Amino acid sequence: MSPGNRKPDTARRAFSEQEDGSYATSLRGLELLREPLLNKGTAFTPEEREELLLDGLLPPVTESLDQQVHRVYAQYRAQPTDLLKNVYLEALRDRNETLYYRLLGDHLREMLPIVYDPTVAQAIETYSHEYRRPRGVFLSVDDPGGIERAFANLGLGPDDVDLIVASDAEEILGIGDWGVGGGAGIAAGKLAVYTAAAGVDPDRVIPVALDVGTDNEALLNDPAYVGNRHSRVRGKRYDDFIDAYVTAATKMFPGAMLHWEDFGPSNARRILEKYTGRISTFNDDMQGTGAIVLAAMLSAVKVSGLPMRDQRIVVFGAGTAGIGIADQLRDAMIRDGLDHEEATRRIWPIDRQGLLTDDMSGLRDFQVPYARPAGEGGGGLEEVVARVKPTMLLGTSTSHGAFTEKIVRTMASNVERPVIFPISNPTERIEAMPGDLIRWTDGRALVATGVPIDPITHNSITFVIGQANNALLYPGLGLGVIVSRARRVSRGMLQAAAEAVAGLVDPTLPGASLLPQVDNLREISATVAVAVAEQADREQLARTTLRDPVQQVQDAMWHPRYRPVRARER
């Protein structure tokens, strides 16, 4: 049974998990077939069909899960576009969650871009027109008093929830503000990856759409739009709504980690900093991205031999993600012997207006610590690279081609193993293609990207390009928090997660990837979860005893297999 000690036979719900892993339910017949977590379709046994009043409601054959997976995979492959594949998978998830997660787990590398970035962005854009089955809860800024009522209507008790993913959909995957559909779609998509990659129990999570309005005129003028029809609420009313959400969620589900996803730059960091010392909370856009880039950097350090304390880092794209990564790289330099000020001064952030300097107006609060003294000189990327002679060049700008041949060759002339991470996505927004980086540096560049890239051969060496995919890290981090029941997510836990990911590859081999591939995310997530749980225990943040973290992580992982379903009294 998953952590959280679910109480059997909770009367508020139509079904409950039993101590032996089976389900007991008051549902019968068609009602049961409409419950996606219990529905097994043709896999219901003859005995279950009789007991649960399913006789005659299903074809007479009894099939195995393997047989069903074979059929639905063929149906999936028959879909002509990625968007229709996403729609097909969501429809499967709506009718049979076990079959959905088994299919997804069997083909995770192939399907990850379909259920999440980039295809989920297309699905979000059509959410109101393709609206089907609601998932999770929809909380409105116009009804903050209804938040507890909405959560209560799920029928879940205080020990029944491990993870809540919430989004206000202001900055969805590079496509911007997509209102209630963006919040609902991105939260549900993120949780699908948590379950497929790390075995987080899908019955113990809640996706939350925080509907604060939208500034997307196309949505506001679309008759089919299902969200609040007013502009985005900001300021005190917005903050009060977020606080009401946090208060209700932590009161009703005190063991749950609150995950923030795709908030705008004016809110994301501020919200995280407000709550991070008080509750178990995590922002993947900032902390997850920072930790996976740190993992790649730790691998690069093993190859270059240049310690973190000696790095000179230029960050091109000083937004929420860029500065979030800078924070974790700075923390790693501090752990390697620098003081806070020295580490901060080893990072040069560049945004649209050029190198950030302390005499600029309009700097965001999270940019201010990294702004260079005005007398040091500003300039664009080319000038800064020539002057600073960076050892690492990080791209989070979404400016395609920004890392030009001249800039890269200038950098490579001053450092033996230049570390170049163009992690913007999708591909049409990447700062430089890895093949060019390898060629311009004669194979010396240590490269990781934010998009999947096929291997590159140069001078008879095949270079495997690691993808800084957050899915390598955040599912395991979440599972580690769940297993340890950590009171909060600390910097040390993020560092432990990054080190665990980096430890899964040997980057010193010629052409080796700096990061593991996504082929076996379950194994990666389990490794990360153990490291995170152990770090939480070391920092005295764990709220449970960790006697055997490896086994406790394995025991906590939900597996998509059919369980016996038994009738209970209505």
Q: Where are the domains of the chain?
A: 15-111, 116-283, 285-468, 469-558
**Residue 320's pLDDT band (cuts 50, 70, 90):** confident
Element (H, E) at 498: helix 491-502
Q: Edge-to-edge strand order for the sheet containing 23-25?
A: 15-17, 23-25, 565-567
Known binding residues: 261-262, 285, 425, 469
pLDDT above 80 (res 11):
no
- Under 8 Å CB-to-CB from 499, ≥6 apart: which residues? 295, 298, 531
- Alpha helices, DSSP H, located in 53-138: 65-77, 82-95, 97-106, 108-115, 119-125
349 in Cβ contact with 315 (< 8 Å): yes
Distance (Å, whole) CA 422 – CA 536: 32
Known binding residues for (S)-malate: 425, 469
Residues in the chain: 570
**Residue 428's pLDDT band (cuts 50, 70, 90):** confident
Average pLDDT over residues 464-471: 95
23 is known as an active-site residue = no
The pLDDT assigned to 123 comes to 86
Residues 70-94 have pLDDT tens digits of 999 999 999 999 999 999 999 999 9
Beta pairing partners, 172 = 176
Q: What is the DSSP letter of 285?
A: I
Average pLDDT over residues 204-214: 97
pLDDT above 80 (res 347):
yes
- Under 8 Å CB-to-CB from 304, ≥6 apart: which residues? 391, 416, 417, 419, 446
Share of the chain above pLDDT 70, in %: 98
Average pLDDT over residues 489-504: 97
- Under 8 Å CB-to-CB from 236, ≥6 apart: which residues? none
The pLDDT assigned to 13 comes to 77
Q: Which fold has domain 285-468?
A: Rossmann fold (3.40.50)
Residue found by looking up tokens 């260079």 in the block: 372
Average pLDDT over residues 48-52: 97
Q: Do domains 116-283 and 285-468 have the same CATH topology?
A: yes
**Residue 4's pLDDT band (cuts 50, 70, 90):** very low
The pLDDT assigned to 426 comes to 78
Known binding residues for a divalent metal cation: 261-262, 285
Q: Which CATH class is domain 116-283?
A: alpha beta
**Residue 174's pLDDT band (cuts 50, 70, 90):** low
Residue found by looking up tokens 């001078």 in the block: 459
Average pLDDT over residues 187-206: 96
Q: Which one of 190, 225, 238, 370 is the catalytic residue?
A: 190
Chosen CATH of 15-111 out of 3.40.50.150, 1.10.10.10, 3.40.50.720, 1.20.1370.30: 1.20.1370.30
The pLDDT assigned to 2 comes to 47
Distance (Å, whole) CA 52 – CA 50: 6
Element (H, E) at 395: strand 392-395
116 is known as an active-site residue = yes
Q: Which one of 23, 76, 101, 116 is the catalytic residue?
A: 116
Distance (Å, whole) CA 357 – CA 442: 34
Helix axes 82-95, 97-106, angle to 10 degrees: 140
Whether the model pTM is above 0.75: yes
Residues 96-126 have pLDDT tens digits of 999 999 999 999 989 998 998 888 888 888 8
Backbone angles phi, psi at 135, to 5 degrees: -135, 125
Residues 240-271 have pLDDT tens digits of 999 999 999 999 999 999 999 999 988 999 99
